[in-house]
Structures are given as structure tokens and as C-alpha cells.
Amino acid sequence: MADDNMRDPLATLLGYQLRRLSVLVMADLAEALAPLDLRSAEATMLFLIAAQPGLTQSDLGRTLGIQRANMAPLIAGLDQRGLLDRAKLDGRSQSLRLTDAGAALCRQAWERVQDHEARLFADLSPGERSRWATQLRDLWETLGAREPAG
């Protein structure tokens, strides 16, 4: 540790800085979505179903990094709230689509997420924000390809 700042050894640790910021951002997002009775995972699920109507529950889980076992109660919850339709594809798979109520709530959630991002990242210019998104994504893809647990 001699080659580092002794006062704050965590200052140079990118992983620590990433996690600390992520925790703060996710807490703010949770607050932004709470009035809609949506958790962040549920909101992202609505966004993806809206973008790719008819996709499978397993596809959705793989895209979001959520395991099948944990998808079941999430999907069931949204279904019971009348936010999505489940149509059997072949007896074991079911395709997901938003109902009208689901689409309406999805739009509300999207607006709130956009507000949340605009507010939190107001100090970043549009160019910086876009560059960050690209870099974060590229890094994630590189590591995902390298790591088995991706």
C-alpha cells in the first residue's frame, strides 16, 4: 500500500467508486419509482417487454441477469396487477406482452426514470453522458465475455 494515498486508500479503487455511486443512484431510482409501486427490476422488465413484445420470460431473465427462479414471482406479481398478458407459446414457454394498463404504467415509469437520470446526471453534458454509457457498456461486455459468472 506504500504506493498509494495513505489518507484514502479507496480513492483510486475504481470498483469501490463504481459501487458507491451505483448504490446512491439505485436508491434515488427506488424513490422515484415508489409512487408507482414499482421496484427498479419491475420497471426495467416493463421497458423490455414494451420494446420486445412477445419475448419469453426466460429471455427476459437472461437479458436482465435475473434467474428463472426469481423471475417467476416477479412476473406473477405484474400479471396479477393486470399489467401484462401471458400467452402460451408451446406449452412450456409463454410470450409476454403489456396490457393497456401495463403500457400506461410503463410510460409513467419511463418518464420518472428519465427525470431521475436528468436530475442526477445534470452535471454531465449530453456528450459526456453518452460517452459514459458507451464506455460502461463496453467494459461490461468485455468483462462479461471474460468472466464465466457474467
Partner DNA sequence: TATTGTTATACTCTATAACTATA
Partner DNA sequence: TATAGTTATAGAGTATAACAATA
Interface contacts to DNA, rule CB under 7 A: 23, 27, 30, 39-41, 56-58, 65-73, 75-76, 90-94
Per the CB < 8 A criterion, the answer to whether 108 and 34 are in contact is: no
Judged by CB under 8 A, the chain residues 11 through 30 that form the site for a second copy are 11-29
Judged by CB under 8 A, the chain residues 62 through 91 that form the site for a second copy are 65
User: Whats the size of the chain, residue-wise?
Assistant: 150
Q: Is 45 in the site for a second copy (CB under 8 A)?
A: no
Q: Is 127 in the site for a second copy (CB under 8 A)?
A: no
Choice from 35, 51, 80, 88 touching a second copy (CB under 8 A):
51
Which of 68, 71, 67, 65 is CA-nearest to residue 143?
A: 65
- Other CB atoms within a 10 A radius of the CB of residue 32 amount to 22
**Least distance to DNA, CB of residue 56, Å:** 4
Per the CB < 8 A criterion, the answer to whether 96 and 57 are in contact is: yes
Q: Say how many residues touch a second copy, by CB under 8 A.
A: 58
Q: Which residues pair with 97 in a beta bridge?
A: 85
Displacement of CA 83 from its chain's centroid (Å)? 18
Q: Is 60 in the site for a second copy (CB under 8 A)?
A: no
Which of 22, 79, 92, 73 is CA-nearest to residue 49?
A: 79
Sites of contact with a second copy (CB under 8 A): 1, 6-29, 31, 44, 47-48, 50-52, 65, 106-107, 110, 113, 116-117, 120-121, 123-124, 129-130, 132-133, 136-140, 142-144, 147, 149-150
